Structure formats: structure tokens, C-alpha cells
Amino acid sequence: MSLVANTGKLAGRTLFITGASRGIGKAIALKAAKDGANVVIAAKTAEPHPKLPGTIYTAAEEIEALGGKALPCIVDVRDEAQIQKAIDEAVKKFNGIDILINNASAISLTGTAQTDMKRYDLMHNINTRGTFLASKLCLPLLKESNHAHILNLSPPLNMNPYWFSIHVAYTMAKYGMSMCVLGMSEEFRPLNIGVNALWPRTGIATAAIEMLTGDVSTSRKPDIVSDAAYFMLCKDPKTYTGNFAIDEDIVREAGVKDLTPYACDPSNIENLLPDFFLDVPTLAQQDVNQKSKGDSGAGGQIPALFETIGKSITPELVKKTQAVYQFNVKGKEAGVWHIDLKNEPGACGSGEPSSGADATLTMDGKHFAEMFSGKLKPTTAFMMGKLKISGDLPKAMKLEKLMKSLKTKM
């Protein structure tokens, strides 16, 4: 649901959007299309993906149905020739490019030892190099526009070591996009080209998030990002440049007072998942609330919890999960526990798993009990620094689904 009204300021403007076949890129394209903008859909998805909906051609149909004009182009942002070909086609059809949106991105939330170099190269070649390359190749056309913008979907440069420690390869790749903003905004200032970054405050309900966590109930819809992007792109690029903007701040500036409609589940507006790279308040308030209700981590509840989990393990759960978890519990009930949902018939108990863990999770016993009782989502705990994860992060994030399957009662 779009809450920022279209003004027509992008009518006739040409946007070159990487990764625009789905998700946030497509949402921005559709918002601009309502103004009657021209959109170059520069993405790889020419054939339907087995798990992810949308192609450059279906996106083009949606854009034109809203009153925009579309040019679907098969583009891998790692390939200079493909980007240049798409730019040349944009010039032929639309006579130029006014706005570049660097949205294409690759992600692997893995630690140093778990990041293979093929995946490392993919992230850096798409995120950092792809952003730099698209900006470089579009520059001659942007210089000719009287309303030239570059907008990178990348985070503020937060030097908190935490964001490097958990997935340093991905952090470097995303920060490379942000460094492009930092440098190019000054470099292109004399050319009257606005260069800015936009990042969500919370998780956004894209196919990637759904595949990672299996749950978008604590996320917002892509509309909040597309509304924010639209408002930014309507600003004067001569004066609006070098900003690292957060989506909810921008839509509030645009006049939106109630952000509830952006939530996928309005009942969860107080429990939205914070996005990466943004420092958030600690769980101190949750601690206070917990104490007022009684400390769920006290009284030997961890052994009882694992006993309950053990009774809930089924062959179907093992087959579906295919992961072994080790839990390093700190605090009053310090100890090591494991859940084996890879080796039939499954196992659960104290000590390290005999077959080795795919993911090791470390947290205080109090928060651990909250997590398995459904009061604290693993992804939220991880983002807030209350849960440390080593090993296979995507498998660790499967705990969201696992907990629903176990239906543990505290």
C-alpha cells in the first residue's frame, strides 16, 4: 500500500533500475510508472525462477499497465557489455537516462571460514563492482539530464565491529555500494548529479527474506521503500546529494504519520525485525518486562525445555530441516545442548552433537527460554546482538520455522 502520493514529477523521466524484475526494484519501478515514467528493467531473470516469481517481461507488463513505458533488458551487472547494450537500447527508445537505481545485490550471511570464494566474488562483483560499473557507464547520459539521480540501495556506513564480525564478506560488499555514494556524491556534485543511499529500517517482505526466515510477519511491505525512493528522486539533485537515508524517516518527511499500513502484519508493529547494519536499542526493556512477569530463564527451565523439544521431534521434521544445532547457553543455566535434525531419527540433549554442528548459537539462558517460548524471534535476537551465531547462518535462521513446528509450551 503506497502512502506517498504521486505528484507527476517523474513523468517522462527514464529510470535505469538493476534487479527490477521483482522485490524492491520492481516496487520502485511501479511507483514511478504511475507518474508515466520510462523504466529500463535491467535484470537477469528472463525465464521464470522455480522458487521466485517474476521476470523482466512480467515486470514490464505491470509497469505499462500503470501508465509507464518499459524496456526489459537481460542484464547481468557483472557484464560490462550487457550493461552498455541496455544503455544503448534505452537511448534509442527513450533518448537518454535520468535516474540510475543500483538495486541488484547478492547476499551470503556466512562467517569467514564458511564463505567460499566463489560466493565472495559473486557478492563483490554484483554489489560493489556492479554498482560502480553501472554508475560509470550511465554517467555520460546522466550528465546530459537536468534531473539526474543515482540511488543505491545500501546502508549507512556503520563502523560498529559487530556488523563486520557476523558476515564480513557481505558487509564489505554492501559497504562498497555505500562508499560509491560517499565518493560519487562529491565527485559528481559539480555535475548536478544527486547521489544518495536508501536503506530500510526493518526487514522488507521480499522473496529473499521469505526464503531466509520463512516468515514475513515481522517485516514491512516493499511499498515503504518505493515510497521513500520516489520522494527522494523527486528532490532537486543539485541540492539533495550525499545522504544515507532510512526509509521510514523519508516517508515521515513526506507526510506519512501512521506507518502501520506498511506492516505485513499490523499486529506485529511493535515487534518488527530491524534490518542489518542499523544499531538498535538493546533488549533492556524486554528484560524489565520479563522481570515483572517472572524470569523465564530461572528455575532450571532449560533442561525441561529440551526434554519437551525431544518429545516433539518427528521423522518429518528431521527430513525437512536437515541441520544440527549446538546451543551454548550462558548465565544462570550455563551449559551446552544440541538438537540433531539431520541424522534419523533425530536427537536432542545435553552436550555437543556427536556428528558436529551446522550452526552454533550462543545466548543467555533467559533469552534462550524466551526464544523457544515464542516471545523472542531468533532473527530479532540475532539482529539485536543477543544471539551469536557461527556456522551456517541460513540453517540457523530455519529455527523460525522449527519453533513453529515444535509448538513448545513454556
Q: What residues have CB less than 8 Å from 7, skipping those under 6 apart?
A: 35, 234
For residue 345, whether the previous peptide bond is cis, meaning omega lies within 30 degrees of 0, is: yes
In angstroms, the CA 62 to CA 41 distance is 12
Residue 10: name the closest of 68, 58, 62 by CA: 68
- Residues 204/221, Cβ–Cβ less than 8 Å: yes
What secondary structure, in 3-state letters, does 199-258 show? ECCECECCHHHHHHHCCCCCCECCHHHHHHHHHHHCCCCCCCCCCEEEHHHHHHHCCCCC
Sheet containing 244-246: give its strands across: 69-74, 38-43, 14-18, 99-102, 148-152, 193-199, 244-246
Active-site positions? 170
In angstroms, the CA 159 to CA 407 distance is 39
